[in-house]
């Protein structure tokens, strides 16, 4: 999958977007309110599956920015059956007044296991009465034809999100960050999913090594042409004990400053069709693991910088879409 950076075990959907934010781009909080009429929490679970970019099928080192053991809570969750993880998440949510939940298969690649094993775990998660959705994070090269009947079956019970890690449409970048798949793999997966009653969410990073403004805008423009419903955008984070940290220490990689990120993000959003939901516009990581940049630790500051700059520029999602 593509989001090893933000591994908080569960939590309410980002509701810190202000009303102004939500007018200028289509936030996930707004989508959930429209769809369910009330607050919804995500329960992050870990089924203990691995990743083909770690177990040798397409690599052993993982993506440049990925730190597999970065989220100790999730690591420990592997020992707990998924049903129990869901149960605890529901209880925690209820204590906070939340009654509807999306089970988020977040860690590693959640379609990289035999279909029978996947079926048993996904259907179990969907069987909880308060669970309205299941969100499955994975990679483009792990969405083969054999999975489509299972995803269709699951979508008959609850809403289904397939979160596909892509990061960039440029093969040169994918190779540089050691993704172990191509953009063509992604297009093929999205076409396959487009025949299913599921929502497709694409994970993308801004500020990847070797990428300039034009390359990132090309990613926005090419994605705008594809049948996807949602995006998760965030800056590349340099985490402790990753290959990215080595590059950063050798001064071979420079992390984005907040104002640079906000500019890029707005330019990206303006090229993103207005009906695409933004599940995420920034990222989080445990403070003790984050090397650079450090500003994502202050999520409210990022949101308010985005809001201020969108207002100043009178920017809006989809404004530059043709």
Residues in the site for ligand SF4, rule: CB under 6 A?
1-2, 4, 51, 53-54, 62-63, 66, 108-109, 139, 165
Beta carbon nearer to ligand SF4, 66 or 237: 66
Beta carbon nearer to ligand SF4, 24 or 54: 54
Smallest distance, ligand SF4 to C-beta of residue 36, A = 28
Smallest distance, ligand SF4 to C-beta of residue 184, A = 17
Beta carbon nearer to ligand SF4, 66 or 160: 66
Smallest distance, ligand SF4 to C-beta of residue 152, A = 24
Q: Is the peptide bond before 126 cis (omega within 30 degrees of 0)?
A: no
Beta carbon nearer to ligand SF4, 99 or 182: 182
Smallest distance, ligand SF4 to C-beta of residue 74, A = 11
Beta carbon nearer to ligand SF4, 108 or 272: 108
Smallest distance, ligand SF4 to C-beta of residue 195, A = 24
CA distance 148 to 131: 21
Alpha-carbon radius of gyration of the chain = 18
Q: What are phi and psi of 90, to 5 degrees?
A: -65, -45
270: Cβ contacts below 8 Å, ≥ 6 apart: 315, 316, 317, 318, 319, 320, 321
In sequence order, what E strands does the chain have? Answer: 11-12, 40-45, 100-105, 131-138, 159-167, 199-206, 230-235, 238-239, 277-280, 290-292
Beta carbon nearer to ligand SF4, 2 or 235: 2
CA distance 314 to 188: 36
Beta carbon nearer to ligand SF4, 41 or 219: 219
Smallest distance, ligand SF4 to C-beta of residue 190, A = 17
CA distance 132 to 163: 17
Smallest distance, ligand SF4 to C-beta of residue 194, A = 22
Q: What are phi and psi of 86, to 5 degrees?
A: -65, -50
Continuous H helices in 157-298: 171-176, 183-193, 213-224, 243-249, 258-270
């Amino acid at each position: 999958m593509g989001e090893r950076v933000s591994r908080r075990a569960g939590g309410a959907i980002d509701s810190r977007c202000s009303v102004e934010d939500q007018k200028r781009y289509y936030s996930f909080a707004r989508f959930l309110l429209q769809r369910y009429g009330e607050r919804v929490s995500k329960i992050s679970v870990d089924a203990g599956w691995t990743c083909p970019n770690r177990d040798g099928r397409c690599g052993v080192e993982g993506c440049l920015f990925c730190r597999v053991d970065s989220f100790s809570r999730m690591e420990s969750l592997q020992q707990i059956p998924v049903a129990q993880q869901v149960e605890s998440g529901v209880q925690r949510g209820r204590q906070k007044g939340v009654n509807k939940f999306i089970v988020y298969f977040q860690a590693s690649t959640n379609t990289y296991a035999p279909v029978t094993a996947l079926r048993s775990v996904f259907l179990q998660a969907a069987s909880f009465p308060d669970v309205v959705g299941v969100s499955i994070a994975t990679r483009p090269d792990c969405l083969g034809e054999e999975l489509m009947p299972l995803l269709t079956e699951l979508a008959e019970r609850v809403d289904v999100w397939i979160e596909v890690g892509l990061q960039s449409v440029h093969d040169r970048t994918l190779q540089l960050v050691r993704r172990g798949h191509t953009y063509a793999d992604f297009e093929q997966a999205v076409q396959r999913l487009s025949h299913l009653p599921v929502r497709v969410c694409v994970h993308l990073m801004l500020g990847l090594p070797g990428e300039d403004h034009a390359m990132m805008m090309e990613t926005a423009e090419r994605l705008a042409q594809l049948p996807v419903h949602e995006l998760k955008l965030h800056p590349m984070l340099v985490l402790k004990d990753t290959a990215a940290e080595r590059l950063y220490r050798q001064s071979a990689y420079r992390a984005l400053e907040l104002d640079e990120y906000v500019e890029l993000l707005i330019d990206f959003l303006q090229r993103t069709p207005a009906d695409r939901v933004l599940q995420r516009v920034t990222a989080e990581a445990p403070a003790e693991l984050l090397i650079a940049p450090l500003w994502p630790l202050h999520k409210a500051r990022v949101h308010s910088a985005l809001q201020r700059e969108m207002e100043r520029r009178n920017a809006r999602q989809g404004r530059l879409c043709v």
